[in-house]
Chain A
Amino acid sequence: MAGITSYGAYVPLWRLSREAIMKGLRGEKSIRNFDEDSTTMAVAAAIDCLKGKDRAAIDGLFFATTTAPYKEKQIATTIAAAADLRQDIITADFTNSLRAGTAALRAALDAVKAGSVKQMLVVGADCRMGAPGTDFEQNCGDGAAALLIGDSGVAAEINAWHSVSSEIHDVWRRDDDEFIRAWEDRFSYSKGYLNTVTQTVTAMMEKAGIGPGDVARAVIAAPTPRIHGEVSRKLGFDPKTQVQPHLFDIMGNTGAAYPLMLLVAALEDAQPGDRLLLNSYGNGSDALVLQATGQIGETGARRGMKVHLETKRIVDDYRIYLQWRGLLVFEAQPTPPGGLLSASALFRDRNQVYPLHGLKCKNCGGVHYPPQRVCPKCRSKDRFDEERLSDKMGKIYTFSADNLCSRREAPRVTAIVDFEGGGRMATIMTDRVLEEIEVGMPVEMSFRKLVSQDGMHNYGWKSVPLRS
């Protein structure tokens, strides 16, 4: 039986206190740093999911988002490259709907069932923007989740599925819209969300031959906390014992990634035999039934939702949020941080840029980055093995913090990082609190957007303090 064999998640370190948006608002929502986007969050979730897994055994990656940084250029390939997957794999982006996450899951499941792939990685990430002052702004959070789909070592089987398609303009963004648009909320709720979800979940339960009482956890990705409560009750679930918490108070609705993230949170608490129901909505609805197996506690140490939600820093200045979103623009950067972009050079250097491969010398054993033709230690030529540095821990050898960069980042922390097992890298440090940085501080690597210029986004690895 095919199902989920591993899972992971990523929630940005930063939470915007809703009080910062407007006095009297409660709770927090997760917000991406200025150097994060759906691609980088997806990479973090994918790597979390693949901890302890053989990355060479993954046959494909489906990426789901409504906030792709490109309209034309696949994102799944960037994530696959950064996660150091093979090149002979199937990749695709699922987009344009908040159901993209479950759509990708369904496609992966079908592919595994059909035997065309053995293991497929499904990653969802989103960072939608509500216009300042709207409910969407308050409710939308940023985050990512990843599920590994396969048919051996399954931790949660997927037993039943029902989908409904619905052509409606209730919530949408035009191709050139920055912010979410919506029709009047009474219409959107009754003819859009409630109608469709009820129809879908009811039909799915009939298909599976189960009633609400057979469900241990109902995982419902609703657009607002109020609707979440209403629909749970309407479907016959006890909000206290059966319904997976919606996380609006500490994270928010994370778009196409939201159902997957809630599912990961539910899987973290699931016991063998538990039956889970997952529902997503967006121009129709997907509903599926999963059942945890005896493997459910065996996926190993993941940060998942728990650690990522527990570790956080609060942003209580609304201007910082606007700045990170690009809605409040300071002066142009005095020195472009990424230097010049060249598609051909980026292609040539892809192994050192995306999966952060350094070289290990076959002669002296020294590890170095970026790759050189001649070993900096023993000077032997072209005798190296590639070594992935992106998942290595490191320590700060020395650092500086300069105020010459843009005010968005000032001061920029440059940290010289020595990797466990050898190798050194000059890094930019992110998600850091200046006063806490010291020589010897342990760090790990995080895939980030370095610069956007010349119509391209340039990604690479930065160092961050340990997230735990």
Chain B
Amino acid sequence: MPGIRDRVAIVGMGCTRFGELWDKSDQDMMVESCHEALEDAGIDLKEIQAAWLGIQGAETGCSGARLSRALKTDYIPVTRVENYCATGIEAFRGAAYAVAAGIYDIALACGAEKLKDSGATGLTQMGGEPQFGSWVWAPIVAPARFALSATRYFHTYGLTPQEGKEMLARIAVKNHRNGSLNHRAHFQREITMEQALNAPMIAWPLGLYDCCGVSDGSAAAIVTRPDIAKRIRDDYVMIKALAISCGGGPQGVIADDYDYIHVDEIVRSGKMAYEEAGIKDPRKEVDIAEIHDCFTITEVLICEDLGFTTRGGYNQDSMAGTFNMDGEVAVNIDGGLKCFGHPIGASGLRMIFESYLQLQGKAGPRQLKDPKFGVAQNYGGLPGGGVSGVAIIGARD
């Protein structure tokens, strides 16, 4: 299995400001992110030979034509994909694989989501399991789903509710501090531990600041073969690994031996991606980890599942500053879902965008020194039956 490592390069990316974009439709945002990517690459729309659109909401139609009509592409193929919260990475994966397969020279991946037209303050039931008749799991809203893990995590590791809440609050504070340095973030304000701890309860034990915002946004990437990339720009970035794992084994909510404090899909997608990228010790080798902090507890599970810390080790490491901007692994250095919200189709590409900037040395106040690997990771669904996507990118040789 040859894998994707070093076979495809990113030559252009774009990312809108995320937020409550009342004046912009999903198509407005697609135009903005894709044109920013085209300008970044310095190429014309006509050079794009195929496109992938990641968008989850059923109200945005069920076809790639949503993107082709917005951009007015020249009758090229556009494929719409959705794969829960990994939708953005899935779109990126489609474009990259098509280039790697030698079918196209230059392809576009765009992710977008318009959440703020639903009238709901949280996510609606879009993309859930079909729930005809029987009462199984889809009615559980996202905060409640992940709160199940928080309750069990506290219980397993003997954290009092106060200790557990403090562990989670530190994540919110860290990510908000990071987001305050990012002009594209929805929320650009620091918060205090007191604010996080005293916030209104959303789903016990998750308070307001344990939950990511609900935002609109779009991000896009242009990918091509390295030989073409060299002609386009010097500081192109290489794709090192792409992995998707769909839960189908012992499904968490069904299997009575599932522990609720790890997620097999995340572990497996991480393993696949590290192997493909040639990463042996993720804690040492990964510099940037943009991971799926839809809720603070999710960042805990993912850091453990992706090997940035040991099982049950998150709390200790976070107190030591391991995941801070200047720590061993800078986790959600751009502010994460906490500050960007989670416009589902866009998130994965937004995360890749941060690593892209960092690897090019263009991350401004957030810039790390000589980063080598950036990980982007999304997780959606119910543990054991969900989807985890990982993209790893790195500097060119």
Contacts and interface: CB of A to CB of B under 8 A. Distances in A.
Contact of A397 (B120, B133, B202, B260): B260
Interface of A: 334-349, 352-353, 366-370, 372, 376-377, 397-405, 411-412, 414, 416, 418-419, 422-424, 426, 428, 434, 439, 450, 458, 460-461
Contacts of B121: 334, 404
A190 B260 CA distance: 66
B134 A352 contact: yes
Contact of B135 (A336, A338, A342, A403): A338
B133 A353 contact: yes
Contact of B203 (A398, A402, A426): A402
B136 A370 contact: yes
Interface string B191-204: 00000000011111
B134 to A, nearest CB: 4
A398 B253 contact: no
A426 B97 CA distance: 38
B133 A416 contact: no
Nearest to A347: B133
Interface string B143-187: 111011111100100000000000000000000000000000000
Given A334-B122, A412-B144, 18 more contacts: A335-B141, A338-B131, A339-B128, A344-B132, A345-B133, A347-B133, A349-B132, A353-B133, A353-B134, A366-B255, A376-B251, A377-B255, A400-B203, A404-B144, A424-B258, A426-B136, A426-B253, A460-B135
7 contacts: A334-B121, A335-B125, A340-B131, A366-B255, A399-B151, A402-B141, A458-B135
Contacts of B124: 335
Given A450-B135, A460-B135, A403 B203 contact: yes
Nearest to A370: B136
A422 B150 CA distance: 23
Query: What are the 9 closest A-B residue pairs judged by CB atoms, nearest first?
Result: A339-B131, A345-B132, A400-B147, A346-B133, A402-B203, A342-B132, A398-B152, A402-B144, A345-B133
Contact of A346 (B134, B150, B201): B134
Contact of B155 (A343, A368, A439): A439
A426 B385 CA distance: 13
Contacts of B327: none
A377 B255 CA distance: 7
Nearest to A411: B204
Contact of A339 (B138, B149, B206, B253): B138
B254 A376 contact: yes
Contacts of B122: 334-335, 404
Nearest to B136: A370
Contacts of A419: 256
B250 A342 contact: no
A197 B103 CA distance: 90
Contacts of B133: 341-343, 345-349, 353, 458
Contacts of B137: 426
A346 B151 contact: no
Contacts of B130: 339-340
Nearest to B118: A334
A158 B257 CA distance: 52
A343 B132 CA distance: 8
B140 interface: yes
Contact of A376 (B128, B132, B149, B255): B255
Given A334-B120, A411-B204, A424-B254, A405 B125 contact: no
Given A377-B250, A416-B260, A404 B131 contact: no
A343 B133 CA distance: 7
B249 interface: yes
Contacts of B134: 345-346, 349, 352-353, 370, 460
Contact of A424 (B147, B200, B204, B256): B256
A439 B125 contact: no
Contacts of B202: 402-404
Nearest to B119: A334
A400 B144 contact: yes
B139 interface: yes
B236 to A, nearest CB: 43
Contact of B204 (A339, A340, A369, A400): A400
B131 A401 contact: no
B59 to A, nearest CB: 15
A401 B200 CA distance: 13
B148 A414 contact: yes
B152 A397 contact: yes
A372 B385 CA distance: 13
A397 B120 CA distance: 30
Contacts of A369: 254
B203 A368 contact: no
A414 B382 CA distance: 14
A414 B143 contact: no
Given A341-B133, A376-B254, A418-B256, A404 B141 contact: yes
A134 to B, nearest CB: 36
A445 to B, nearest CB: 12
A387 to B, nearest CB: 13
Contacts of B143: 400, 402, 404
B74 to A, nearest CB: 39
A225 to B, nearest CB: 41
Contacts of B138: 339
Contacts of A397: 152, 256, 260
B281 to A, nearest CB: 32
Interface in B199-216: 200-204, 206
Nearest to A334: B120
A423 B256 contact: yes
Contacts of B155: 398, 439
A399 to B, nearest CB: 6
Contacts of B128: 339
A334 B122 CA distance: 9
Contacts of A343: 133
B203 A339 contact: no
Nearest to B202: A403
B124 to A, nearest CB: 6
A413 to B, nearest CB: 9
Interface in B254-303: 254-258, 260
B136 A401 contact: no
Nearest to A343: B133
Contacts of A450: 135
A393 to B, nearest CB: 14
B58 to A, nearest CB: 12
Given A416-B253, A450-B135, A336 B260 contact: no
A253 B187 CA distance: 57
A69 B48 CA distance: 60
B249 A376 contact: yes
Contacts of A428: 135, 139
Interface in B228-265: 249-251, 253-258, 260
A404 B253 CA distance: 21
A401 B202 CA distance: 8
Interface string B329-350: 0000000000000000000000
A341 B253 CA distance: 22
A403 B201 contact: yes
A341 B144 contact: no
A416 B151 CA distance: 11
Contacts of A338: 131, 135, 139
Contacts of A370: 134, 136, 254
Nearest to A349: B134
A165 to B, nearest CB: 42
